[in-house]
Amino acid sequence: MMEKSLSDEELQKRFQDVEENLKIVEENIAAAAECSGRRREDITLLAATKTVPVEVINHGIEAGIRCIGENRVQELTEKYDGYRKDLADVQFIGHLQTNKVKYLIGRVSMIQSIDSEKLAKEVSRLSVRDGLTTDILLEVNIGREENKSGVLPENLEELLGIVSKMPNVCVKGLMAIPPADAQPKETFAYFTKMRQYFVDISTKKIDNVNMQLLSMGMSADYPMAIEAGANMVRVGSALFGARDYSKK
């Protein structure tokens, strides 16, 4: 659910916080990029906007955010008409059920959470129907967590081979979320494994597969993810503040 409407005073405070937070995040991205031998321009900052009011999102966009991602289909559809889509790219980054794909095709530029043949087939079917090509990332369950979505690493290449043959779908890279309770060294190791999968697939010439994006790292660990090789990070609370789920 989205947050309740904010007063003018609350909005102004949120606007100021976003501006200040964005500067810090940008500095951290630039520093991590330099540590990994890259430039700030090589890293895409995606603002994760779950529960964030449209007014606050748009202020962030006006302050320089150029890519946003929603986790929930219903929330995306409710907020969609209000986004500053003339300035920012809109993507879907959350767990996706097959029956909700129809609400995303033609609305988002990319779906980052494809983890099964069934889900990819529905994206392909609806994209063909609408005469569109939909960019996707394959989500990898790098920590092998039972209650987390994502294809297991040993099944990644098989799924990639299947999806690559589907019409009107283009695999643009990989996405992963390491276990939240992992220690920093473990998290870095997960990121490094993902980087290796990304590089290995990149060396193979597969139709409809263009390994451009390695999406990993969130508010708690995005500098580490960049140092390990990520070129897209999904940052939410570090930009917009901790989510308050009591405001519904």
Mean pLDDT over residues 158-168, rounded? 97
Claim: this prediction has a pTM higher than 0.85:
yes
Range of the domain at 70: 8-240
Q: Identify the weakest region by mean pLDDT among 9-18, 26-35, 190-199.
A: 9-18
Residue 245 lies in a domain: no
243 has pLDDT over 80? no
Domain containing residue 139: CATH number? 3.20.20.10
Whether residue 248 is contained in a domain is answered as no
> Is residue 172 pLDDT above 90, yes or no?
yes
* Burial degree of 77 (CB within 10 A; 0-12, 13-18, 19+): middle
CA–CA distances in Å: residue 15 to residues 6, 108, 227, 239: 11, 25, 30, 11
74 falls within a domain: yes
Average pLDDT over residues 174-197: 97
- Report yes or no: 6 and 15 within 8 Å, Cβ to Cβ: no
Share of the chain above pLDDT 90, in %: 91
Which pLDDT band, with edges at 50, 70 and 90, does 248 fall under?
very low
Report the number of distinct structural domains present in the chain. Answer: 1
Domain contains 42: yes
Tell me, yes or no, whether 2 lies in a domain. Answer: no
Whole-angstrom distance, CA of residue 84 vs CA of residue 82: 7
* Assigned domain for 3 exists: no
Residue 131 lies in a domain: yes
How confident is the prediction for the chain on average, in pLDDT?
95
Q: What is the pLDDT of residues 100-125, one digit of tens each?
A: 999 999 999 999 999 999 999 999 99
